[in-house]
């Protein structure tokens, strides 16, 4: 049977092998694009007319109707580098 000290060092070695490497890493901000559904109430004669009215700014925003729909694929995401400094005048 192994001693507690031997088992502890073996476990440490296993954790070190499987741990992600963090040397030379930098911080980035990933902007994940998500789609939400927001409901508006509008009076119109057809569904198309109702959509055009809301697109032009008409309609009443319904409270508590903000609902998550889905996340866009990573190809639409952006990444910001917080260490980048804009040196423009």
Residue 37's pLDDT is what? 97
Q: What percent of the chain has pLDDT over 70?
A: 70
| 13 within domain boundaries | no
| 4 within domain boundaries | no
Q: How many domains does the chain have?
A: 1
Q: What is the DSSP string of 26-54?
A: ---EEE--EEEE--EE---SSHHHHHHHH
Residue 24's pLDDT is what? 86
Q: Splitting the chain (89 residues) into consecutive groups of 10 residues, what average pLDDT does each group show?
A: 51 61 84 97 98 98 96 97 71
Single pTM value for the model:
0.56
| 11 within domain boundaries | no
| Calpha distance 45→6 (Å, rounded) | 79
| Strand pairing report for 78-80 and 60-61 | unpaired
| 21 within domain boundaries | no
Residue 23's pLDDT is what? 76
| 79 within domain boundaries | yes
Residue 84's pLDDT is what? 83
């Amino acid at each position: 049977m192994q001693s507690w000290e031997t088992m502890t060092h073996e476990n440490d070695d296993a954790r070190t092998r499987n741990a992600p490497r963090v040397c030379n890493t930098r911080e980035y901000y990933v902007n994940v694009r998500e789609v939400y559904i927001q409901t508006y109430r509008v009076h119109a004669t057809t569904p198309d007319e109702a959509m055009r009215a809301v697109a032009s700014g008409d309609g009443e925003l319904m409270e508590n109707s903000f609902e998550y729909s889905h996340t866009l694929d990573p190809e639409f995401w952006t990444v910001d580098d917080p260490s980048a400094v804009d040196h423009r005048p």
